[in-house]
Amino acid sequence: MIDLTLEEVARITGGTLHLAGEATPQTVVNGAVDTDSREIGPGGVFVAKPGEFTDGHLFADAAVEAGAALLIVERLVDAPVPQVVVADSVDALGELAHEVVRRVRELGALKIVGVTGSNGKTTTKNLLRTVLEGVGETIAPRASFNNEVGAPLTMLEVTESTRFLVAEMGASKVGEISRLVRLARPDIGIVLKVGLAHAGEFGGIEATLAAKTEMVSDLLPGDVAVLNRDDPRVASMADKTAARVVWFGIGEGADVCATDVVATSEGTRFTLHLPGGESRPVVFRVLGEHHVMNALATAAASHELGVGIDAVVSALESVTRAERWRMEVLGGAGGVSIINDAYNASPDSMAAALKTLAQITGPGGRAIAVLGEMSELGELAGDEHDRIGLLAVRLGIDQLVVVGTAARRMHISAIKEGSWDGESYFADTADDAYEWLRPKLRAGDTVLVKSSNSAGLRFLGDRLGESFS
């Protein structure tokens, strides 16, 4: 964090400063800010956040022992360091992030890119970080730090030398992205896709659309909205922003587009086209044709930030995986490949992963899909699990393994569609699935493991990968 006095922190957060030791209101703090006491280091600022299962105030002692120089709390705790008592620690965290970003931005060098969408946020964030790091100091979220806590923590990492901030913005209800946009004030807002991910929490696809539109609705005329031309819902946002629109996509009408797209087991080859007629071939090693759209969004934003096409292509070609547990290729021994994509799952991402599996499985090999629950779909859950079961059969997936009661309708639908001769197997648990599948795998097999994070199949994917490492 940039230098702030204790008095400034209290004023910014609307809190009351309580001094301790030799500290004065003018004592400066500039350490990293975190809500996790385990991440606190010397000089750090610990924000005690009440949670669903525990209370951050209980870990204040641990934060102090780790070197915290300041506690931001909702009630005083017994600690030998200064404390700022606030009404709401999450709101205080956001206000602190907003002010830090504002001050750094006033220096004139910082550019901010906001990224949202039902799918692809983390991949696009990682691609942007890789491209922009080649130009200047870049801050981007750890893991999926994209909510009301994670996004401000990322913003607070900016310093006077930061050139780019990539802010991943997720939401589970209308209004949350708007709040994050207010905190960061992006120069460029990217919307990747509006799909059924978290539709149950939002209350339907129209509410999801309204939430994602918040990324661009508050942009200013001098800003840029980078929008997916191929998604009609995203395309509809062009009428709801004052910003200049830059389109990306594979279909017609995109300013930044891909042609000659060829998906293989090593990744995807395509030709990247930028405004002005520039084009370059790209060998993109992130598995899955659907990730080309994330690469195009990255290229569009990078182009708007003045990054040349050769630097963009070089950075894209250097990336080998989207993220841990996202289309991560494991195994290889004995000719068996494991694709572990079980960190998140929505109907759109599940369908895209299955299509990739069908595309890349080599002649004589078997396409095997190990699928678990797609969570947070609400009343759409039954129909969407049915649809994925049908799709697996229609794509010619050789073996379907469905894991967990919540995903069972995939198995039933696959059987009804034609997988009645053992092509679909149901396992109650991940351990059951492993014990059934592991001895049946042979050279040439490609195994996709896909589910929402809550289903825990990412650990099954790791286990299968280790078996063939």
Q: Which residue has the higher pLDDT, 122 or 411?
A: 411
The pLDDT, as a whole number, for residue 313 is 98
CA 248 – CA 336 distance, rounded (Å):
36
Min mean pLDDT across 3-7, 93-97, 104-108 is at 104-108
The pLDDT, as a whole number, for residue 128 is 98
Residue 372 pLDDT greater than 90, yes or no: yes
Retrieve residue 310's tokens: 């050769």
User: Coil, helix or strand for 403?
Assistant: strand
Strand-strand pairing, 279-284 and 267-273: antiparallel
Indicate if 130 and 271 belong to the same structural domain: yes
CA 443 – CA 460 distance, rounded (Å):
19
Main-chain phi, psi angles of 283, to 5 degrees: -105, 100
Retrieve residue 134's tokens: 């080649």
Residue 97 lies in a domain: no
Q: Judge whether 118 is annotated as a binding position.
A: yes
Min mean pLDDT across 194-208, 316-330, 365-379 is at 194-208
Question: Among positive and negative, which fits the CA dihedral 360, 344, 294, 142?
Answer: negative
Over residues 240-253, mean pLDDT: 95
The pLDDT, as a whole number, for residue 200 is 59
Quick one: how far is CA 325 from the chain centroid?
Answer: 12
Q: Which domain holds residue 195?
A: 107-318
CA 16 – CA 305 distance, rounded (Å):
41
The pLDDT, as a whole number, for residue 203 is 64
Q: Judge whether 122 is annotated as a binding position.
A: yes
Calculate the average pLDDT of the chain. 93
Report residue 301's pLDDT band, with 50, 70 and 90 as the boundaries.
very high
**Distance of CA 102 to CAs 31, 99, 158, 161, 364, Å?**
18, 5, 10, 14, 58
SS (H, E, C) 329-354: EEECHHHCEEEEECCCCCHHHHHHHH
CATH number (domain holding residue 64): 3.40.1390.10
Residue 101 lies in a domain: no
Q: Judge whether 147 is annotated as a binding position.
A: no
Residue 198 pLDDT greater than 60, yes or no: no
Over residues 159-165, mean pLDDT: 97
Report residue 201's pLDDT band, with 50, 70 and 90 as the boundaries.
low
Retrieve residue 437's tokens: 């599948």
Indicate if 356 and 436 belong to the same structural domain: yes
The pLDDT tens digits for 420-461 are 778 999 999 999 999 999 999 999 999 999 999 889 999 999
**% pLDDT > 90, the chain:** 82
User: Coil, helix or strand for 29?
Assistant: strand
CA 34 – CA 37 distance, rounded (Å):
7
Residue 92 lies in a domain: no
Indicate if 343 and 442 belong to the same structural domain: yes
Residue 138 lies in a domain: yes
CA 295 – CA 318 distance, rounded (Å):
12
Write the CB contacts of 387 (distance below 8 Å, at least 6 apart in sequence): 347, 413
The pLDDT tens digits for 131-152 are 999 999 999 998 778 889 999 9
Beta-ladder partners of 263: 268
Indicate if 309 and 358 belong to the same structural domain: no
CA 6 – CA 49 distance, rounded (Å):
19
Report residue 204's pLDDT band, with 50, 70 and 90 as the boundaries.
confident
The pLDDT, as a whole number, for residue 67 is 97
Indicate if 314 and 352 belong to the same structural domain: no
Q: What is the DSSP letter of 134?
A: T
Residue at a domain's end among 276, 295, 318? 318
Residue 187 lies in a domain: yes
The pLDDT tens digits for 43-97 are 999 999 998 788 999 999 999 999 999 999 999 999 999 999 999 999 999 999 9
Token look-up 């780019």 returns: 164
DSSP code per residue over 351-390: HHHHHHHHHHPPTT--EEEEE----S-GGGHHHHHHHHHH
Over residues 160-178, mean pLDDT: 91
Indicate if 124 and 80 belong to the same structural domain: no
Strand-strand pairing, 83-85 and 70-73: parallel
Q: Is the Cβ–Cβ distance between 143 and 127 less than 8 Å?
A: no
User: Number of structural domains, the chain?
Assistant: 3
The pLDDT, as a whole number, for residue 376 is 84
Question: Among positive and negative, which fits the CA dihedral 195, 201, 204, 207?
Answer: negative
Question: According to the per-residue pLDDT averaged within each range, which of 111-125, 300-314, 341-355 is highest?
Answer: 300-314
Indicate if 341 and 228 belong to the same structural domain: no
The pLDDT, as a whole number, for residue 252 is 83
Residue 94 lies in a domain: no
Token look-up 């699935």 returns: 433
CA 297 – CA 115 distance, rounded (Å):
9
Helix (H) or strand (E) holding 34: strand 33-34
Q: Judge whether 120 is annotated as a binding position.
A: yes
Token look-up 């993109």 returns: 284
Indicate if 191 and 295 belong to the same structural domain: yes
Indicate if 269 and 149 belong to the same structural domain: yes
Report residue 114's pLDDT band, with 50, 70 and 90 as the boundaries.
very high
Residue 96 lies in a domain: no
CATH number (domain holding residue 277): 3.40.1190.10
User: What is the Cα Rg of the chain in Å?
Assistant: 24
Question: Among positive and negative, which fits the CA dihedral 96, 97, 103, 104?
Answer: positive
Q: Is 164 exposed, middle or buried (0-12, 13-18, 19+ CB in 10 A)?
A: buried
CA 200 – CA 410 distance, rounded (Å):
18
Residue 378 lies in a domain: yes
Indicate if 67 and 132 belong to the same structural domain: no
Residue 310 pLDDT greater than 90, yes or no: yes
Return the closest-CA partner of residue 124 out of 333, 267, 322, 261: 322
Residue 183 pLDDT greater than 60, yes or no: yes
Q: What is the identity of the amino acid at 36?
A: D
Report residue 199's pLDDT band, with 50, 70 and 90 as the boundaries.
low
Residue at a domain's end among 270, 288, 318? 318
Residue at a domain's end among 275, 293, 318? 318
Q: Judge whether 121 is annotated as a binding position.
A: yes
Indicate if 401 and 307 belong to the same structural domain: no
Query: What is the torsion angle, in degrees rounded to the nearest 10, for the CA atoms of residue 263, residue 254, residue 279 and residue 222?
Result: -130
Indicate if 180 and 243 belong to the same structural domain: yes
